[in-house]
Amino acid sequence: MRVGTMRALVKPAAGPGLEIRSVPIPKPGPGQVLVHVRAGGICGTDLHIWRWDPWAASRLHPPVIIGHEFCGTVTEIGPDAHGVAPGDFVSGESHVNCGRCPACRRGEPHICERLQIIGVDRDGAFTDFVVLPAQNARKLPPSTPVEVA
């Protein structure tokens, strides 16, 4: 288990801007994995959050670590986490669904009633380590360039 702090790009409060902060390294819980982030992509969502436009103001509840496009290496797995192992190179599916609502049971998890987005509704990947559900870690061939992943 990793202990200590890491760097993170944080939306600290309502309003424009972001901050680089030192935050605790998260620990994977049941069904979760800890990923050492190797690369991340900036997209329009991140710009909305930085600017604090009406969408961001209506959606975010700072403080939150931003970033939802990323790849990295699994370093730890929590209890009952399946499908990936330490050392696996993965990308992250940013839409975290509940798996229990009617939409999820119909096979439509992207319209989950309790959908959360990594880097928006829960801490994201513009950091050294990110925790996500094991089911959201997509295994990639180790030879995949980070720019492609």
- Domain residues for the domain of 134 are 5-139
Do 73 and 33 touch, CB atoms closer than 8 A?
A: no
Q: Decide if 75 is catalytic.
A: no
Q: Confirm whether 31 is domain-assigned.
A: yes
Q: Confirm whether 125 is domain-assigned.
A: yes
Distance CA 63, CA 89 (A): 28
Residue with structure tokens 């939306």? 11
CA-nearest of 11, 9, 29, 12 to 20 is: 9
For the domain that residue 22 is a member of, what is the CATH number?
3.90.180.10
> Could you say which of 5, 36, 45, 110 is catalytic?
45
Q: Decide if 45 is catalytic.
A: yes
Encoded tokens for 119: 């880097």
- Please, what is the average pLDDT of the chain? 96
pTM, to two decimals: 0.94
CA-nearest of 86, 62, 73, 79 to 8 is: 62
Q: Confirm whether 107 is domain-assigned.
A: yes
Distance CA 18, CA 24 (A): 18
Distance CA 31, CA 19 (A): 30
Mean pLDDT score, 18-40? 98
* pLDDT computed for residue 29 by the predictor: 98
Q: Confirm whether 148 is domain-assigned.
A: no
Q: Confirm whether 96 is domain-assigned.
A: yes
Q: Confirm whether 69 is domain-assigned.
A: yes
Number of domains in the chain: 1
> Could you say which of 36, 48, 73, 75 is catalytic?
48
Q: Confirm whether 144 is domain-assigned.
A: no
pLDDT in tens, 83-92: 999 999 999 9
Q: How many helices (H) and strands (E) does the chain have?
A: 3, 10
Q: Confirm whether 146 is domain-assigned.
A: no
